[in-house]
Structure 1
Amino acid sequence: MDPLTHALLGATAAQAALGHRLGRQAWLPGALGGLLPDADILIRSTADPLLAIEYHRHFTHAFAFIPVGGVVAASPWLVQRRYRADWRPLLAAATIGCATHGLLDACTNYGTHLLWPFSTLRVAWHWLTTIGPLLTLALLAGLLLAVRRQSRLPAVLSLSFALVYVGVAAWQRERALDLQELIAAARGHPVVRAEMFPSVGNPVVWRSVYQSGTTLYSDRLRVVDSAGSLWKPGSTLELLFAADLPPAAAADARVQRDFARFSYFSSGWTALSDSDASVIGDARYSLSRDSFEPIWGIRFHPGSATPTEWVDQTARNRVPVGELWREIRGTADGYRGLPTAGRVDAVAVARDSGC
Structure 2
Amino acid sequence: MDSLTQFVLGAAVSTAVLGPKLGPRKAAILGGVLGTLPDLDVFLPFDDPVDSFVLHRGWTHSLVTHALAAPLIGEVLVRLVKPLRDHRWATWLAVFLCLSTHALLDAMTIYGTRILWPLYKDPVGVGSVFIIDPLYTLPLLGVVIWALSRKTWTSALARGTAAALVFSTGYLALSAGLQAHMEARARTVYENAGLQPDKVLAIAGPFNTVLWKVIGVEGDAYHNLYLSLLDGDEQPQIYSHPRRPDLTACLEDNEAFEKLAWFSRGFFKAEEVRGRIVVSDLRMGMTPAYVFRFAVAEIESAGAREITPVRDMSHRAMSDGDGDWLVARLMGNMVARAAELDGSSEDLSAGLRMKCSVVPYVK
Task: Flag whether TM exceeds 0.5 (same fold).
Answer: yes
Deviation of the 1:285 alpha carbon: 2.3
Kindly provide the amino acid, as one letter, of the partner of residue 169 in structure 1.
S
3-state DSSP of counterpart to 2:23: helix
Stretches of structure 1 lacking an aligned partner (at least 5 in a row): 336-346
Deviations 1:203-250 (A, max 9, x none): 1110011122321101111124xx73665324322335597344xx55
Question: Where in structure 2 are there 5+ consecutive unaligned residues?
Answer: 350-363
Q: In terms of mean alpha carbon deviation, does 18-27 or 317-326 score higher?
A: 317-326
Counterpart of 1:297 in structure 2 is: 293
Give the match's secondary structure for 2:113: coil
Output one character per residue of 1:18-63: Cα deviation in whole Å (capped at 9) or x when no partner.
2222222222222122111111112233x43322123211111111
What is the CA-CA distance between 1:308 and the residue it aligns to?
A: 2.4
**Is contact 1:18-1:26 (8 Å) kept?**
yes
Residue 343 of structure 1 corresponds to: none
1:133 to 1:146, Cα distance in 2 relative to 1, 3 A: same
Cα deviation, 1:156-213, whole Å, max 9, x if unaligned, reads 1111111221122112111111211111111112221111111022211100111223
Where does 1:1-355 land on structure 2 (aligned, <5 Å)? 1-24=1-24, 25-45=26-46, 47-71=47-71, 74=74, 77-78=77-78, 80=80, 82=82, 85-86=85-86, 88=88, 89-148=90-149, 150=153, 151-224=157-230, 228=232, 232-240=236-244, 244-246=248-250, 250=252, 256-273=254-271, 278-286=277-285, 288=286, 291-301=287-297, 307-311=307-311, 313=313, 316-318=316-318, 322-331=324-333, 333-334=335-336
Please tell me the residue identity of whatever aligns with 2:332. Answer: G
**Aligned residues between the structures:** 330
Contact 2:186 2:214 in 1 (8 A): yes
Using the alignment, how far apart are the partners of 1:49 and 1:279 within structure 2? 13
Tell me the alpha carbon deviations over residues 310-351 of structure 1, each in whole angstroms, 9 at most, x when there is no partner: 31549943595544332222235239xxxxxxxxxxx9xx97
Question: 2:257·2:296 contact (CA, 8 Å) conserved in 1?
Answer: no
- Matched to 1:62, the amino acid is S
TM-superposition CA deviations, 1:90-121 (whole Å, max 9, x none) = 33322211010111011111111112111122
Say whether the 8 Å CA contact 1:66–1:95 is kept in structure 2: yes
Contact 1:29 1:90 in 2 (8 A): no
Match of residue 340 from structure 1: none
Residue by residue over 1:261-297, the C-alpha shift from the partner in whole angstroms, topping out at 9 and shown as x without a partner, is 11112222221258766321111123x4xx4332112
1:92, 1:76 → 2: CA distance? Answer: 14
Instruction: Name which of structure 1's ranges 301-310 and 273-282 shifts more when overlaid on structure 2.
Output: 301-310
Q: Match of 2:13, as an amino acid?
A: A
- The verdict on how the C-alpha distance between 1:71 and 1:85 changes in structure 2, with shifts beyond 3 A counting, is same
TM-score in terms of structure 1 length = 0.81
Distance in 1, Cα, partners of 2:272 & 2:334: 24
314 and 5 in structure 1: CA distance in 2 versus 1, 3 angstrom threshold: farther
Summarize the Cα distance change of 1:116–1:145 in structure 2 as closer, same or farther, 3 Å threshold: same
- Contact 2:21–2:84 (CA<8 Å) still a contact in 1? no
Note the alpha carbon deviations across 1:106-143, whole angstroms, 9 max, x for none.
Answer: 11111111121111222122210111122111110022
TM-score, length-scaled by structure 2: 0.79
Compare 195-204 and 311-320 and name the one that shifted more. Answer: 311-320
Query: Compared with structure 1, are the counterparts of its residues 321 and 294 closer, same or farther at alpha carbon in structure 2 (3 Å cutoff)?
Result: closer
Cα distance in 2 for residues equivalent to 1:121 and 1:230: 39
- 8 Å CA contact 1:283, 1:294 repeated in 2: yes
CA contact (8 A) 1:26 1:90 kept: no
Could you tell me which residue of structure 2 aligns to residue 338 of structure 1? none
Moved more, 3-12 or 230-239: 230-239
Q: Secondary structure at the match of 2:290?
A: coil
